[in-house]
Structure 1
Amino acid sequence: MLSIILPAKNEAAALAELLPRLRQAQPAAEIIVVDDGSTDDTARLCAEHGVKRARQAYSMGNGAAIKRGAREAGGDILVFMDADGQHDPLLIDRLLARLGEGYDMVVGARDWSGQAGVGRGLANTLYNWLASRMTGFDVKDLTSGFRAVRADRFREFLHLLPNGFSYPTTCTMAFFRSAYAVAYEPIPVHKRVGTNSHIRPLKDGIRFLLIIFKIATLYSPLKLFAPASVLFFVLGLGNYAYTFVTAHRLTNMSVLLFSASVIVFLIGLISEQITSLTYRRDG
């Protein structure tokens, strides 16, 4: 069974067009609109089109809506897509076809024309590059909200997902960390319906970057801590060489930098063990 989950906050204008197209494209699918505290006609539209509506008592964020939808879905395959009209329901079959090739998650990857402005495009390019370096895989679209996953795999990581934006970041990194197969399917993206974007470029851009480093520590902490440790050691060695030549002594700053190098490396080792325990599955 297929379940399609759409997190929505005041997206009635887009849902009026999207829901009938979605029902036509996937007539047998369970469609769940997670109403994240909307104040528009979302409830009426869901009732008119025979769509299940999961109501949040108040706005908890995009990630919280995704988690609510995943818990209530009855399908063994979950498709997540934005409710703002950017994703074409006809493309769902392409994701499902790739999923049938043996993948655990297939992500709809946007090209440059699908980015919401130059700033967002540059930011997403940076995120993709950082995630690729951390995971060792070619991450083509870290933040895409259009993806198909196997429900049992996805639910393993619900406790890791943030309640706000960037659940795709956490989900993608977690799948790679657990050696679940991830594929990217190129998709076109339409312009969103309406202007009620819930993304704040500066604040959410910084938040995305912080989450990448947070997930890096969950994915492979030593890839973050080891370079930092080496940097402190090199700085300490350089400072010692300079003071030895000029003053013929070992300074407190050199000792501090050497100590920081050892401490950071040990923290990385401990974090690596914690990460292993986080992803350990009993049975």
Structure 2
Amino acid sequence: MSISLHSEESPFQLVPSVSNPEVSVVVPIRDEFESLPHLMEAIATSLKDAHLSYEIICVDDGSTDGSTDLLKQLAASRTDLCAIILRRNYGQTAAMAAGFSHARGRAVVTMDGDLQNDPADMPRLLAKLDEGFDLVSGWRKDRQDAALTRLLPSRIANWLIGQVTGVKLHDYGCSLKAYRSELVADMNLYGELHRFLPALAFIEGARITEMPVRHHARIYGRSKYGLWRTFRVMMDMLTIWFMQKFLTKPMHVFGLFGLASLVVGLAIGGHLTFIKLFLGASIGNRPLLILCIVLLLAGVQLFSFGLLAELLMRTYHESQGRPIYRVREVVKPGSHPEPNGLP
């Protein structure tokens, strides 16, 4: 029988003996000294009122404003907080990956540490998971940010990412999201891919939805983002597109371009051979000869890249024992389907 996150039979607990809490809240932190105490209390109040056992995992990503020491003090005085201190600033993706690796909850919630996300929205996201979704993404419908430097680039990026990945959400950049723990375990994060977690989840076969959440103006500190991140977002988007289309069949893309290059190169070579043998014209000073050679070499190289990519893909899956498929459930003969809800 499935156990819902919102079962009244699961009273709130705030003791270290909770080995498998219902919810793990992962919060990457960088220079949020003023926000930290308020954030911890807001998260605890929200989940306590919802009667959910929980843990808070704060990952300090190279703070320099005293947040590291404060986080250590809070972790020493609270029974619901685990502090992970990274050796230097690795970026939000690495910080979230560190938090995911330490999460023990049956559901995982992520949020920013600047108090712009509202912890009071967490129970609503978790309730949405109980409807059968694997990922519930927050949508900052009334976003409290600068229109020119934050809102406009974000809307353009959200539309473009939706077109490229096929996962059309209003707000990819919202950090407030709820996941089933098994989905988080299937996703490996690298680079700056935290912005594309819904797209990565889609590759894993996740059922995804979104819902409006509250968004507050920043009270403390300053934003760590700006227009400079646009280039990195574009590069990451291309990475996601490639993974989505060709992760398990890289030869399909490299081989296609390699074949096209070889065909065009051979066609040009045949044309030049005809001119040389039957018309007696000189071809040594023709640009087409150089183009022919370049295309033939490019075709061979692209095929070689495709073969190497195929070997790497097989090594990646086989060395880790990762199948190229994901099983949602197994219904055995004579069994009855389980209702939706976290197992």
TM-score per shorter chain, which class?
0.7 to 0.9
d(CA) in 2 for partners of 1:61 and 1:99? 28
Higher helix share: 1
d(CA) in 1 for partners of 2:151 and 2:112? 18
| Distance apart, 1:70 and its partner CA | 1.0
- Letter of the 2:206 counterpart: Y
1:42 aligned to 42, 56, 71, which one?
Answer: 71
- Letter of the 2:167 counterpart: F
| Dislocated runs of 4+, deviation >6 Å | 256-280
Query: The residue matched to 2:143 in structure 1 has which SS?
Result: helix
Report the aligned-residue RMSD. 3.6
d(CA) in 1 for partners of 2:219 and 2:39? 10
Question: Do structure 1's residue 154 and structure 2's residue 192 form an aligned pair?
Answer: no
Unaligned runs of 5+ in 1: 241-248
- Letter of the 2:108 counterpart: L
Matches within 5 A, 1:218-229: 218-221=243-246
CA contact (8 A) 2:105 2:181 kept: yes
Cα deviation 1:18-75 (Å, max 9, x = unaligned) = 1111111113211111122333333223444442212223222211111111111111
d(CA) in 2 for partners of 1:88 and 1:143? 15
- Letter of the 2:57 counterpart: I
Matches within 5 A, 1:64-143: 64-111=94-141, 113-143=143-173
2:242 aligned to 214, 217, 230, which one?
Answer: 217
CA contact (8 A) 1:19 1:49 kept: no
Normalised to the residue count of structure 1, the TM-score between the two structures is 0.77
CA contact (8 A) 1:36 1:56 kept: yes
Query: The residue matched to 1:143 in structure 2 has which SS?
Result: coil
Q: Relative to 1, partners in 2 of residues 1:126 and 1:260: Cα closer, same or farther, differing over 3 Å? A: farther
Cα deviation 1:82-107 (Å, max 9, x = unaligned) = 01001111100111111111111111
| Distance apart, 1:139 and its partner CA | 2.5
| Distance apart, 1:138 and its partner CA | 1.7
- Alignment length, in residue pairs? 267
Question: Do structure 1's residue 168 and structure 2's residue 195 form an aligned pair?
Answer: yes
Q: Once the two structures are aligned, what percentage of the paired residues are identical? A: 24
Unaligned runs of 5+ in 2: 1-21, 269-285, 327-343
d(CA) in 2 for partners of 1:10 and 1:261? 48
Counterpart of 2:25 in structure 1 is 4
d(CA) in 2 for partners of 1:275 and 1:144? 31
